[in-house]
Structure 1
């Protein structure tokens, strides 16, 4: 028997995240025909303007699910082969033996072995993943930098490989999804952003979702505060930011309502075919950007609790903003949460993020939202 929504518990759980140190957050939870929306805290620390549940927000790597869906649609149309070598389509971007060995599927599930380009594009982050030696200077330096995807892809392709094509575990890398954007452009003749907008965003009827072309979030939105592990104190607002540094990997702007609508339609087989959805749910072990081994499909990530049905979705983080969207396998229970502070955790002497009260409060919110 499904747990009905409990607005009082959900309101309390959201408020607890705010009290734990999150400036502002907002969420939508669905259970069948029941819908709860809630928010706590402020959208602007300077003015005290409150957050509201209808705000638009940068949702980071949730973008990858949209990009993956657009690629699977082209697979269905015969323009892309899921197990075809990327070198067949993009020989200049991934030349030689690697281009012949890396398939489209390996890009989608992060088993290509291609390295993350970000530490090369952002020099102060070159020490990743040894966080103790990083600094946030590059975040400011690149606030209005307009990157071209091919220069970022080249950084990732020419960096030392992090694995062999198809090897396990894979390693999560934004380079993979910039290549998928280039692939969409190659086979459709339209920019990846146009292809994803037309075939995924508009097809799903998402009225408040877009891949931005400039540095601004239009419409009602929160400021977005980055702490970079306590090195930016007080946290700095990065809500105005050119998102070409991640493009079809993590640039999406959306709302919690649109995210729930998208994942509900996707898991109902209404964005891609049921057979394509089955491919998206075939998982492999992947080392996440936090260094944990997770199960990862084709732009979809499962989450399970003991004795519970699996949830499918994705999380995302960019400078100052984060989001998580999860939908139960049967499509009935859904959650989308957006937060406006990133990386408040201080680092220990080994350079590992220390626990922060926000972490436990968010976990409690997720449990309340997903399981009642």
Structure 2
């Protein structure tokens, strides 16, 4: 969530000391490369042999920086191509499993935004209405007024609300964080009551996960259903995404097949596969697979989930994120991502303890998701992981 729009973002999700810290890894790379075609259409093959070789080379380079395992899923013409390097389990040296179930982090925001835009199309939510209309008395604090912040501000990260992940009570050790339950409304209340606004609404765009906890709360207030249930009904079930879900209360593990996931804690690698993600909520709690993230973003950008007027708004109302690397423009739950080739890519990304994901769709409809089972701990590993995504989206054939 936090350091990436690939949180979105090309950087990372958490803000807790153990969640946000980027520490040098220093574990030798293990190379176990696998690849498979898992698609449904035999007429179109994603990427040529030479392009696949380039992607495999990028995967090897990413694992060589110390990441345990990395997987890429490329979907084109209804067919998936999957390649992996490294391992999914350090102890057993098992490979990164195909169809891997992973924590999607801030990709959750795009799912929530799609559901919200359906409500906009139904006339149940007004993007330019103050959030006070939907959550009376909730959005208040030092220089924070719900009557001046619109739903659009929240979805676009132009509200100025502070980052709840900076709360000191979330600055905990992994052994506490892994199983600690949190309530989204309580986290929002504590953040707004203890930290001032960063800027007036609409002045600029600054990525803050608090925005999407609030978007989720608006969605719940309007529909009368928990955000996970509403997103499942509106988005996940219609697309038949059978391995995409919001973990239920007390559900700390991942469904099979899944890799183990890790974090670096002062040079020691910690297994964080079992994790209570209630603190992430509508900002980052979703679980999915590379194939299903590709199907979601493809459907969204093809206009199969959101009406044309609302989809245009998601992509038109963009602003450069001032607290993210240059080149990332954020719309309404979608980001226009900078890549080193002449193509436009829309998507999101995520960073949550144990996983780093990149997801996007090119102008010609190639969808790519990259996932690592440990967040990068230094610029070299972060850059190498980005290069895997770039190699796949920029392939010419």
Q: TM-score, normalised by structure 2?
A: 0.82
Unaligned segments of structure 2, at least 5 residues: 1-45
Question: What does residue 367 of structure 2 align with?
Answer: 334
Of stretches 261-270 and 27-36 in structure 1, the one that deviates more from structure 2 is 27-36
- Aligned 8 A contact 2:263 2:271 in 1: yes
Which SS does the other structure have where 2:252 is aligned? coil
Instruction: Establish whether residue 43 from structure 1 lines up as the match of residue 88 from structure 2.
Output: yes
1:68 to 2:85 alignment:
no
CA contact (8 A) 2:103 2:287 kept: yes
Q: For structure 1, which segment, 152-161 or 270-279, has the greater mean C-alpha deviation from structure 2 after superposition?
A: 152-161
1:139-158 matches, within 5 Å, as 139-158=174-193
Q: Does 1:161 align with 2:197?
A: yes
Which residue, out of 89, 111, 123, partners 1:78? 123
Indicate if the aligned counterparts of 2:184 and 2:213 stay in contact, CA closer than 8 A. yes
Structure 1 residues 203-242: aligned runs within 5 Å: 203-213=238-248, 214-227=251-264, 231-242=265-276
Deviation of 1:83 after TM superposition, in Å, equals 0.7
Aligned length: 343
CA contact (8 A) 2:314 2:334 kept: yes
Kindly report which structure 2 residues correspond to 1:256-271, keeping only aligned pairs within 5 A, or say none: 256-271=290-305
Indicate the RMSD between aligned Cα atoms, in angstroms: 2.0
Looking at structure 1, the residues matched to 129 and 335 of structure 2 have their Cα atoms a distance apart, in angstroms, of 23
1:21-40 mapped onto 2 (5 Å cutoff): 21-33=66-78, 35-40=80-85
CA distance in 2, matches of 1:292, 1:360: 14
TM-score (norm 1): 0.87
The CA deviation at 1:146 is 1.1
Partner deviation per Cα, 1:14-67 (whole Å, 9 max, x = no partner): 222112211011111133355321111111111211112311000100100001
Displacement of 1:313 in angstroms is 0.3
On the 8 A contact 1:287/1:294 being kept in 2, the answer is no
> What SS does structure 2 have at the residue aligned with 1:341?
coil
Q: Measured at CA, do residues 104 and 221 of structure 1 come closer, stay the same or move farther in structure 2, by a change above 3 Å? A: same
Match of 2:393 in 1: 370
Give the secondary structure class of the aligned counterpart of 2:80.
strand
CA shift, 1:365, in A, is 1.6
Cα drift, residue 215 of structure 1 = 1.4
Q: Distance in 1 between matches of 2:377 and 2:388?
A: 18
Cα distance, 1:236 vs structure 2: 0.8
Contact map agreement 1:27 1:53 (CA 8 A) in 2? no
Q: State the alpha-carbon separation in 2 of the partners of residues 154 and 15 from structure 1.
A: 44
Q: Aligned to 1:226, what secondary structure does the other structure show? A: strand
**Structure 1 unpaired stretches of 5+:** 125-136, 346-354
Partner Cα separation in structure 1 for residue 200 and residue 214 of structure 2: 17
Output the CA distance in 1 between the equivalents of 2:261 and 2:168.
Answer: 21
Give runs of ≥4 in structure 1 deviating > 4 Å.
290-293
Task: Find the aligned partners of 1:79 and 1:343 in 2 and give their Cα distance.
Answer: 41
| Structure 1 residue 306 displacement after superposition | 5.8
**What is the correspondence of 1:175-194 to structure 2 with a 5 Å cutoff?**
175-194=210-229
Deviations 1:75-127 (A, max 9, x none): 11111101110001101211497111000000001111100111215453xxx
What SS does structure 2 have at the residue aligned with 1:258? helix
Look up the match of 1:297: 331
